[in-house]
A and B are shown apart, each in its own frame.
Chain A
């Protein structure tokens, strides 16, 4: 059961990511990214992270992607223009990408013996477990993120405001 669910949603997320690259219109890319994020939420559930699965749906697939689609529609972005792109990106970028993937995969396969297989019957992390750590050990970083969000809101308003409306 777990294997089947994993394969289905891993395939969804990979298909969404590939579609993000292939689509030329930004709104189609944004919708593919929503597919990726929603299937990742299901994978978080399979890993027993119930709070993060819901947060992924609400924060990422909900708030962040709505912001993206709003901006795509607000700016009326059209089809992507086909340009040749930078030679440096092609010459160095793609070999580097392949190299990174090969190195990471090799390391993962080397350490595979030390990792336990994941079962659906494993213990899940409840919101209580999470909040005990978050509000005791991590209280200061948690409060600091609220300041960060406030600064981000002020920065977004200041940047997006029209010139002359002071």
Chain B
């Protein structure tokens, strides 16, 4: 019934755009890691970097028609969840011992 819709430039996005977005998000994560002064926001920047890398994995998995790239993202999510649980427990322990979360005042390994 309908005439075939002519392919328009709106239908396709180059893979490199996704990869550059991923690189930008990773860079913003590193900048956050450097400039943030609260321990918990530094930790959030790490999560941002993990997410940025996941986007690259999914893009490459799509480009090469490989499922394993997505499996890797699944594992990264699991490890990140475990890491968040342990990391936040460490943050709570540090806060109990020091009563501050400012990274400039937490510069000793000893609690």
Contact = CB atoms under 8 A, between A and B. Distances in A.
Interface of A: 1-4, 6, 10, 13-14, 17-18, 20-21, 26, 29-30, 33, 36-37, 40, 43-44, 46-49, 51-52, 55-56, 59-60, 63-64, 67-68, 71-72, 74-75, 77, 80-83, 85, 89-90, 93-94, 97, 100-101, 104-105, 108-109, 111-112, 115-123, 125, 129-130, 132-134, 138, 141, 145, 148-149, 151-153, 155-157, 159-160, 162-163
A108 B16 contact: yes
Contacts of B19: 108
| Majority secondary structure, B binding face | helix
Contact of A77 (B32, B40, B48): B40
A97 B75 CA distance: 26
Highest count of chain B CB atoms <10 Å: which of A18, A109, A157, A160: A160
Contacts of A120: 11
Contacts, number: 238
Interface of B: 9-21, 23-32, 34-38, 40-41, 43-45, 47-48, 51, 54-55, 58-59, 61-63, 65, 67-68, 70-71, 73-75, 77-86, 88-93, 95-96, 101-102, 104
Contacts of A93: 30, 34
What are the 3 tightest A-B residue pairs by CB atom distance, in nearest-first order? A152-B82, A115-B15, A159-B89
A60 B51 contact: yes
